[in-house]
Amino acid sequence: MKKLIIQNVSKQFGDVNALHNVSLALDEGSMLAVLGPSGCGKTTLLRSIAGFETPNAGRIIINGQTVFGEQTNIKPEHRKIGYVPQHGVLFPHLSVARNIAFGLSDSAYSHKEQKAQRVAEMLQLVGMAGLGKRMPHELSGGQQQRVALARALAPSPSLVLLDEPFSALDAGLRTALREEVKATLNQIGATAILVTHDQEEALSMADLVAVMRQGQCVQVADPVSLYKYPADIHVAYFVGEAITLEATLDHGRAHCCFGPLPLAPGCAIDSSSATIMIRPEQFVPSAPAEQQLGGQVLKTIYYGHNALVHIKTDAKFGAQEIQIRVSGAHSYTPGEYVGLKITGEVMAY
């Protein structure tokens, strides 16, 4: 069953089209990442789903119930949504336990003991059992975000909305917390939407990624398909490093300065003028050989687990500056000549 359906939602602020005809659908128990650059409309979309923003057009259905559209606009507090905002999430004057209990209604949890029990369950869920008496300022940034998640999950929401919840954390903590949050949401079968401008976060956490640009949803795909088959060059660059080359397409092959290359499914088969896209890790270094693609190392950018090696291909292969991704265990010296093989298919636009 679809937990969330968004149909042609638009929102204008004056003459800014913050959202333009956005449509999305999300399965129960899955996570959607909304990915896009600053100002593309991510937060407006999240706030429209939550009911904090009223769209100008469209329809939003949660759990089979229209919460917006067709003369309906259900108030945020009746949409059964858990919201984890970016900053300033906890009430500073309330203990961790009281922060978590804040969203628990007296009707659903009429006894004090029931509330305390639910708070204890939530603390356990986010790995903070026994810390309910602490005040927010006595917690690390990561712990504060875990409490914010516990508070959002406590009332058993239909949908959990996470608005860049890791952006204020340092890199190491961010990676660890991403995995924890994903595991926690999986454990309770939550359906969630994560807003982020970090492609690594979107690809590593979500089942489905929606890429937004200037208020529009330009592609919705699972992480592997999105990375391998981006809808256009801009999406290709947004979700990773890309090398683009001019080519002609003929009978399902791209002909470029590196020779003939197989085309990914769904690309045009014939064209006298196309741009192809290759990912840096599709280049595999090999021993230099006659008539085989190769070039001279310009520089290496080392990332530890892997490295990007900048190479200028040989003149007979177009003297192109490209980047290839190699294991961090190998080192390449500027001036060194390396042979290159290209693996997999290329996208053409």
Ligand X SMILES: Nc1ncnc2c1ncn2[C@@H]1O[C@H](COP(=O)(O)OP(=O)(O)OP(=O)(O)O)[C@@H](O)[C@H]1O
Binding residues for ligand X (CB under 6 A): 13, 16, 18, 36, 38-44, 197
Q: Considering the complex, state which of residue 12 and residue 244 has its C-beta at the smaller distance from ligand X.
A: 12
Token duo for residue 7: 């149909």
CA-wise closest residue to 177 among 213, 135, 210, 149: 149
Query: Smallest gap, in angstroms, from Cβ of residue 64 to ligand X?
Result: 27
Nearer to ligand X, 238 or 332 (CB): 238
Report the C-alpha gap between 213 and 116 in whole angstroms: 44
CB of 85: closest distance to ligand X in angstroms?
Answer: 11
Q: Which residue, 36 or 223, has its beta carbon nearer to ligand X?
A: 36
Question: What does the alpha-carbon distance between residue 165 and residue 173 come to, in Å, rounded to a whole number?
Answer: 12
Min dist CB 161 to ligand X, Å, is 12
Q: Which is nearer to ligand X, 18 or 185 (CB)?
A: 18
Write down the least CB distance from residue 160 to ligand X, Å. Answer: 18
Nearer of residues 45 and 263 to ligand X, judged by Cβ: 45
Q: How far is the CB of 18 from ligand X (least distance, A)?
A: 3
Q: How far apart are CA 301 and CA 206, in angstroms?
A: 28
Cα–Cα nearest to 274, from 293, 247, 256, 310:
247
Q: Are the beta carbons of 338 and 314 closer than 8 angstroms? A: no
Helix runs in 215-276, H state only: 223-228, 233-238
Task: Give whichever of 164 and 345 is closer to ligand X, judged by the CB atom.
Answer: 164
Please, which residues bridge with residue 33 across strands?
194, 209
Q: Are 28 and 5 in contact (CB under 8 A)?
A: no
- Determine the Cα–Cα distance for residues 157 and 191; give it in Å rounded to an integer: 9
Residues 183 and 168 sit within 8 Å (Cβ to Cβ) = no
Residue corresponding to tokens 């947004």? 238
- Least gap, CB of 178 to ligand X (angstroms): 18
Shortest distance, position 24 Cβ to ligand X, whole Å = 15
- Give residue 111's Cα distance to chain centre: 40
Q: Which is nearer to ligand X, 55 or 230 (CB)?
A: 55
